[in-house]
Amino acid sequence: MAKILVVGSMNMDIVTQVERHPVPGETIHGNETRFFIGGKGANQAVAASRSGASVAMAGGLGTDSFGADIRKQLAEDGIDLDYVSEQPAMTGIAVITIDQTGENNIILSAGANGKYGEDEVDTLDLTGFDVILLQNEIAQAVNQRVLEKAAMAHIPVFLNPAPITGFDHTQLNNVSFLILNEVEAEELSGIRIDGISEALQAGKQMLEAGLPHLIITLGSKGSLYLDQAGTQIETPAFSVDAVDTTAAGDTFIGAFVAKYIGGTPLNESLRYATAASALAVSAAGAQSSIPSEDKVHEFLQRVELIN
């Protein structure tokens, strides 16, 4: 079983359904507003745990009721919370609108995520972890400290540079595995990505810059895996009715890392993660939409019967 440490964000997502996203200066009517537990770090931790990995989470929560709700959910998912600290700030909040096609807009207030500090990274005992997962919703200096500490302990770091705004590119120097979507790949490579062929061009450029392994996810166009050994795997997406794309990428990442580090062959891990994220897109919310391993296997069996 893979043993994974996620150092990252935990948020309360406040989600309103809208017919379309507002334009600047416009007020529109929303439909129902609901609260979901999210945050890229916590979502990836939950996805990995529901796919059979042993997971510990490190990061900051406020002392408010949102923090308590998040702690309760992560504990129910069997995630070790010894490295989750209380911070003198509100728990992180994501204000999300979802339109009729399932596409979202997200505004983040980092709150306690931004208070989790490098000094706390220094107290992490990395012994026994197979891999560390990072995103870009906590302080850049914290990610840098994790990368330095992981390098000293010879533990590979899988990084998801999301959201890409404010991402410190020097982090790429110490990353073993980069998992990013087309928007992030465009930003890092400067290449406009419309499909697999441009993703391939962008990915090759990143490999030339020294990245050992990378996956570019392309939504309904699937994903592309590349590495320094010349392996190239295109994994097609499954066609599903999109209800809410929130946490689909996080689900892919957590599910992939759990399977791949747990010993499942690379191409099977990619197919499994693609199925997990298809299921996440088919349900509302962040962690509420992340499937268990059983559900992913059932989905894959159903798809195989149809084809």
Q: How far apart are CA 219 and CA 150, in angstroms?
A: 30
Q: Closest distance between ligand RIB and the C-beta of residue 287, in Å?
A: 8
Phi, psi angles (nearest 5°) of residue 233: -125, 125
Phi, psi angles (nearest 5°) of residue 291: -80, 155
- For residue 25 the two structure tokens come to 């200066």
Burial of 29 (0-12, 13-18, 19+ CB in 10 A): exposed
29 touches 17 (CB < 8 A): no
Of 51, 56, 97, 137, the residue at the interface with ligand RIB (CB under 6 A) is 137
What character string, x for contact with ligand RIB (CB under 6 A) and - otherwise, covers 44-73?
------------------------------
Phi, psi angles (nearest 5°) of residue 132: -120, 140
Q: Closest distance between ligand RIB and the C-beta of residue 302, in Å?
A: 26
**251 contacts ligand RIB (rule: CB under 6 A):** no
Between 246 and 277, CB nearer to ligand RIB: 246
Of 2, 94, 134, 178, the residue at the interface with ligand RIB (CB under 6 A) is 94
Q: Which range in 9-17, 20-28, 50-58, 166-174 contacts ligand RIB by CB under 6 A?
A: 9-17
133 touches 257 (CB < 8 A): yes
**39 contacts ligand RIB (rule: CB under 6 A):** yes
The set of catalytic residues is 250
Look at strands 177-181 and 213-217 and give their pairing.
parallel
Between 249 and 262, CB nearer to ligand RIB: 249
What is the contact surface with ligand RIB in residues (CB under 6 A)? 9, 11, 13, 38-40, 43, 94, 106, 108, 137, 246-247, 249-250, 286
